[in-house]
Amino acid sequence: MKIMNVAGARPNFMKVAPLINAMSRHPGLQLSLINTGQHYDHALSQLFFDELNLPVPDRFLGIGSGSAAQQIGRTMIEFEKVLEEIRPDLVVVVGDVNATIACSLITARNRIKLAHVEAGLRSFDRTMPEEINRLLTDQLADFLFTTEPVARENLLREGIPSNKIHFVGNVMIDTLVKHREQADRSSILADLALSPAGYGLITLHRPGNVDDLPTLKGLLGGLETIQKDVPLVFPMHPRTRSRLESFGLSEMVSRMKGLQIVDPLGYLDFLKLMSNARFVVTDSGGIQEESTILGIPCITARENTERPVTVELGTNEVVGTSPERIVAACQQVIAGKWKKGKMPDLWDGNAAERIVRIILDSP
């Protein structure tokens, strides 16, 4: 059986790694890995391949940056060439980036079976590009592998047959479980002169937050207040750094003596940083999940989440983008009033193996 795994952006690499590892233990599977190249610099791409022991991709499409239409269009054109050449029996896509929907469309048009890992997640906010990608990919998929029970309800409501839906757990957590001990040996805390539980971790990159001047300025205003009480470290996505400069906000940031901005980090350094943070302020879906497993308070600077289990069971709270609410949430953590959270079902490090067994057992 020939299985093609597709990745292209930083979050995908953490999801594909355990899948390839699990598949490689089954001699009857012939694997290929396609890197679309949506994230292509060293910190956002190659470093992750190295740290997660991912094999050299069979094809690198080199899509690069651009508008959604440009990325999706270029990916479809280049991916179809690879698909016709390799002719897999199954294509596996993960997450909700532009590469996910582009490769799903071409796979379906070529009548090749499609598996979607992380199916059924919904923010119910169609202004988010990822929401459109998720919705369309799930309509095309033959295997829909879900991370939490509510995802099944979402898919059934959208007309997906129940026999296509499989609750398997979370491959992102597979990667975290496997690499947590290795990450603990990282020197990142010493490198940045940080002490355990003595700082807050910040990540902001979503277009709705960083592409809108009033929103971004408000978020920075909240950070300005927080950094007076707790040092903050901010591994900054290139998109966010670009917006700071174009909006003329760099000077505002430079005045914050308690805010340390660093370049994007590799997986192991970032995991060590998150594992030892007092709290995380983020707009990332994956960090909501990882912080839940790590038991780190997570303050989500968005109006919604497609991962409600991190709120219902985990350490996450969705507080919106109001500076006042973000500051109030951080102050709650500092005062020791945050919830503890617990592990969601099947987030045990074995999701990838469950996925492989379902694929192998299918007709």
Tokens, residue 245: 């400069």
Average pLDDT, the chain: 95
Q: Of 39, 116, 166, 205, which residue is the catalytic one? A: 205
The verdict on whether 179 is a catalytic residue reads: no
pLDDT < 70 stretches in the chain: 38-45
Which residues are registered as beta bridge partners of 144?
116, 165
Chain segment 167-218, per-residue pLDDT in tens: 999 999 999 999 999 999 999 999 999 999 999 999 999 999 999 999 999 9
- Rounded alpha-carbon distances, angstroms, from residue 199 to 134, 236, 340: 34, 16, 18
For residues 64, 186, 337, 215, the Cα torsion angle rounded to the nearest 10 degrees is -20
Taken in order of first residue, the domains within the chain and their CATH numbers are 2-169+347-361 (3.40.50.2000), 181-334 (3.40.50.2000)
Predicted confidence at residue 88, as pLDDT, reads: 98
Nearest to 96 by CA among 138, 157, 33, 48: 138
- The model carries a pTM of 0.95
Chain segment 80-103, per-residue pLDDT in tens: 999 999 999 999 999 999 999 999
